[in-house]
Structure formats: C-alpha cells, structure tokens
C-alpha cells in the first residue's frame, strides 16, 4: 500500500520522522529533493533510500547538474539511480542511463528528457533491486565534481569570454534564471534577456554590436561573436531580434554589457 505524507520544510522534522516510522516503508525514493536525508530516515526502509540524480555520477554532484552539464560543454549526460548515504550525492550507484546533449538543448529540454529517462530507469532498477539482481557499486573518486546551486546573477554575460562559452550560458540558463546583458540608451541602462542565440564568425571588440538587422544582433566576444536571435527587453515580452530592432535604435558600434 502506498501512502502520501505532507513533505515538511526540513527532512529532520521529528513529526515527519514519526509518521514515516509508522508506515514501515520498504523503500524510499527522492528526486530533486534538495536536502540530505538524516540517518534516521536512511535506516528505515529495508531496501534503502534511492535518489534519481540527473547526471552521470560522480560528475556534477549537487543542486544543479543539468545547468552545469551544459555550462561545461559536456557532450553527454544522463541519469543515475543511487542508494543514498549521509553524503551529498555520494551513495553507491545502482544503475545509469546516458543521453547526448544536443546542440539545441537548453536546461528545460534536457530536464524533460532526463525526467523521462529517470522514470523508466527507476522502475526497472526497483524491480531488479528487490529481486536481488543489482550489485551497488561505490562511486569512483576520479571525475567527481560539484554542481552548485544557480544564482540569478550567474546569468550575466561577460562578452570577453569566447562565443562558445556564452552560448552555453544562454542554453544552460534558459528558461531560468535567464542569460542577460545590459543595453544603455541615453542615461538609462536596461536589462536584455537573451533567449536564443548562435555562434557567428565575425570578430571585434568584446561587447560591441557588429551587426543589427533582421538576421539578428551580432555581438563581438572574446573569440568569435554571438548572434542574438530572440531576446526580451526589461518589462517587455520575448521577441525576435527583428521585432526588437523595429522599436529600439541599436546599431553597429553600440555596446552591450
């Protein structure tokens, strides 16, 4: 029998622990829970506590593995079903499923694909675990990394960086918190959120607009340039570069940043 409990703000809440004990769970599963379970919970179920983690552990332990896999330019990522221990995503691995990161993936599309993979893998892993067909393997020490929580200010585009690095930032932070830059008109500076972009071959002084027409807004980077295709002005809606230019006087030589 499956019973639902109201999830508390803190997993260490004593009343929550008491409710869990009364259920005598055989297995506990968490996904994107954001807290380390106390030993009192880890010891409860006879088959242990499982976590569905959206990276190929030990790489990208922590709160934001999807964003960091794109930020780091990884070719592949995946889902890991692990048996939880007292550490942060350090438990033994039960199963993994790999998936490529496509050139047009952002954190939303990758999240949705990993969610489907994780759900399918979890069902099969539970069956095999209960049947005694899985040997939990300790995570290797080599290749471990930490994917810290994303902050809103991480979305700021530093135009001195290479275009590839900036494109990865746009993709990783779409839809949240969003990659952004600043656009100054007169004595007013406004935020421009970048939704969609591509790498262009033009070169110039980082942050300077090289081209602004219906094909996009080309901005010079530390290496190559970025063509902004879709953006969102402060207090405005998401729009194409052509739509933005029809109402804003942005021209070659202007500077973003």
Q: Return the bridge partners of 151, or none.
A: none
Q: Tell me which residue range forms the domain holding 241.
A: 152-245
239 shares a domain with 159: yes
113 shares a domain with 70: yes
Beta strands 28-31 and 146-147, pairing class: unpaired
Q: With contact defined as beta carbons under 8 Å apart, do 179 and 152 qualify?
A: no
Q: What is the pTM of this model?
A: 0.92
Q: Tell me whether residue 228 is in a domain.
A: yes
pLDDT by residue (tens digit) across 89-113?
A: 999 999 999 999 999 999 999 999 9
Provide the CATH number for the domain around residue 191.
3.10.25.10
pLDDT by residue (tens digit) across 129-188?
A: 999 999 999 999 899 999 999 999 999 999 999 999 999 999 999 999 999 999 987 677
Q: With contact defined as beta carbons under 8 Å apart, do 38 and 11 qualify?
A: yes
- If one counts every other C-beta atom within 10 angstroms of the C-beta of residue 154, the result is 16
Q: Tokens 């994780």 sit at which residue?
A: 118
171 shares a domain with 47: no
- Say how many residues make up the chain: 257
Helices (H), the chain: 14-23, 39-42, 65-71, 107-130, 163-172, 241-245
Q: With contact defined as beta carbons under 8 Å apart, do 77 and 66 qualify?
A: yes
228 shares a domain with 113: no
Q: Tell me whether residue 7 is in a domain.
A: no
């Amino acid at each position: 029998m499956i019973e639902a409990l109201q999830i508390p703000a803190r997993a260490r809440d004593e009343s929550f622990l008491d409710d869990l004990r009364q259920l005598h769970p055989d297995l506990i599963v968490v996904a994107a829970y954001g807290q380390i379970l106390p030993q009192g919970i880890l010891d409860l179920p006879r088959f242990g506590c499982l976590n569905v983690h959206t990276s190929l552990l030990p790489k990208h332990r922590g709160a934001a593995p999807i964003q960091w896999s794109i930020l780091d330019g990884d070719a592949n990522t995946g889902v890991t079903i692990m048996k939880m221990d007292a550490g942060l995503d350090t438990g033994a691995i039960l199963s993994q499923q790999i998936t490529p990161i496509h050139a047009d993936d952002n954190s939303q599309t990758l999240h949705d694909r990993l969610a489907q993979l994780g759900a399918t893998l979890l069902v099969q892993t539970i069956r095999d675990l209960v049947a005694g067909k899985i040997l939990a393997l300790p995570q290797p020490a080599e290749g471990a990394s930490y994917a810290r929580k994303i902050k809103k200010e991480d979305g700021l585009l530093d135009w001195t960086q290479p275009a590839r690095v900036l494109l990865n930032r746009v993709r990783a932070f779409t839809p949240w918190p969003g990659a952004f830059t600043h656009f100054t008109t007169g004595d007013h500076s406004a935020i421009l959120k970048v939704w969609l972009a591509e790498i262009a071959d033009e070169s110039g002084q980082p942050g300077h607009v090289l081209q602004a027409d219906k094909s996009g807004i080309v901005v010079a980077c530390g290496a190559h340039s970025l063509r902004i295709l879709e953006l969102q002005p402060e207090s405005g809606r998401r729009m194409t570069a052509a739509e933005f230019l029809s109402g804003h006087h942005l021209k070659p030589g202007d500077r973003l940043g």
